[in-house]
Amino acid sequence: MPDFTSATHSGPSSAGPLQGVRILDMATVLAAPFAATLCGDLGAEVTKLELPDGSDTLRHMLPVMGEHSLYWKVANRGKRGISLDVRKPEGRALFLKMLPRYDVLVENFRTGTLDRWGLDLATLHAHNPDLIVLRVTGFGQTGPYASRPGFARIFEAMSGFAHLSGESGRSPQHMNHPLGDVIAGVFGAFSIAAAIAGQARQPEGSPRGCEIDLAATEALFRTLDPLAVEHQLMGTVRERTGARATYSALSNIFATQDSQWLTIVGTGGTAFRRIFDAMGRADLLDDPRFATNVTRLKHADEIDGLVAAWCRGHTLAELQARLTQFQVPHSKIYSIADTVADPQVRAREAIIQLPDPELGEIPAPCVVPRFSNHQAPTPRSGPAVGEHNEEVYGELGLDAAAIAALRERGWCRFLSRPALSRGLTRKEAPQAAH
C-alpha cells in the first residue's frame, strides 16, 4: 500500500496525488487502458503488459501514420511497456512473480478468461492479498450477458444513449468516436482511486484486496440519470430530437448567414430573456408562451423559428458579438482545428506535447483536472512492444541469461528504440528528428 502521509504541502509538487500507486495494465484496446492512463496522469506508475506479437487492436486503429500508431501513442501515454504471454506456463509464472510489486491490476478480458488461464481471483490474491483488480467488461461479471464481447457502440446502444442521438424520425446515431469506451475508462479511474482510499481506512495487517466489477454499459447508463424515472413514473420514453433539448428551452444549434453553426443555450428564465434582448425583441419578454420553462418547451417550435431566422440574417462574428454583449451562453460548433486555435485552450495549455522517441513530440489533451499543490509533468508517449522488458524484468531479479532465455522461447519480445524516461517535462525531453 503506498504511503501518502509523507507528502509536503509547502508548494506545488510534481509527485501527483496518486504517487506511489503501482498499476499493472494488462487490458487491451481502450476502455480499461484509459482508466490506467488517467491514473498515470495523476502520478501513478503504470506498466503496460501486452502480448509479444503486438496484436492489441489499438495498435492498428486509426489514426495510423506509416508505421506509427498515433492512437496508441496518445492513449497509453506515460506507461512503461512490457511484453509477456501469460497464457503459457512460463509466462504465467513470471506474471505471478511480478504481481506482489503492484497495487492494482487492470484487465478487460471476457468474464472467465483469466480463470481459464489459471489466473483466477483466488490465485491473484494468494500472490498479493492487497491487490485491487479492476475488471472492465461490457456487461459485468454476472448475468446472462456476462460472457458476451463488448465494444463502445454496443454500450452506447444498450444503455439508451444512441437512441437519443440523431434527428427525429430518422436513424439513431453513433458519434465518430468510441464514447462508450472513454466513459467506462473515467469510471475505471474513479473506481481505482476509490478503492485505494478505502484501503487506507482498513486495519493494518488485514487482507485489503478487492475486485472491482465495472460494466461499461452500466457506466454509460449511469450518466443518463432521468431516463428511468421519467419512464417509470410518467410513462415517457425520451426520443431523438436532433440538437434540440427537450428538458429545457431554448437550447439548439442554428445556422448563420455565412454557413457556420452556432449553439445557443437559454436554460433558466434570466438566460432566456437575454436572448430576446440580444435579438432586439424585448416585446416578446412578457408573452405568456415564454414565461416558464414548461411553457417554453410547449412552444419550442416557435422559439426556435424566431431564433433561427435571426441567426440566418447575421454572420457568425456579428452573432457572437451580440450574444457576448448580452451574456448569452453560446459557441461556434468547433472542429479540432478550431479547438487547437482557441485562445482559451492556448492560454491554459490544454494541449500538451508528449515527448516521443520516433516523432519528436506529438500533441495530446492536457492532464485533467489541475491540483493547486501538484504541477503535472508531461508524460511521454505510449511505449513500443516490450520496450521496457529488460528494465522491468531486471527489477524482478532476472539476470541477462534468464531474460535471453525468455526471449528465445518467445514468451516476451524486445525492441530496440530510443528511450525516454516516464514523466519528462517538455524542456527535459531529448528531441528526435521529425
- CA dist 190 and 193 (Å) reads 5
- Do 100 and 93 contact (CB within 8 A), yes or no? no
CA distance 278 to 275: 5
- Give the residue among 34, 47, 123 at the shortest CA–CA distance from 81: 47
Gap between the Cα atoms of 76 and 58, Å rounded: 10
Helix (H) or strand (E) holding 304: helix 300-312
User: Annotated catalytic, 181?
Assistant: yes
384 and 355 Cβ atoms separated by less than 8 Å: no
Q: Are 67 and 50 in contact (CB under 8 A)?
A: no
Task: Mention every residue, 6+ apart, whose C-beta is less than 8 A from residue 217.
Answer: 138, 139, 150, 154, 155, 158, 159, 180
> Is the CA virtual torsion 51, 177, 267, 249 positive or negative?
negative
Pull the grid cell for residue 114. 483469466
136: phi then psi, degrees, rounded to nearest 5 = -110, 115
CA-CA-CA-CA dihedral for 52, 27, 141, 157, to nearest 10 = -120
Q: Classify residue 340 by its DSSP letter.
A: H
Task: State residue 39 phi and psi, 5-degree precision.
Answer: -65, -40
Q: Which of 181, 286, 304, 338 is catalytic?
A: 181
| Alpha-carbon gap, residue 351 to 365, rounded angstroms | 5
Nearest to 364 by CA among 346, 374, 352: 352
Catalytic residues: 181
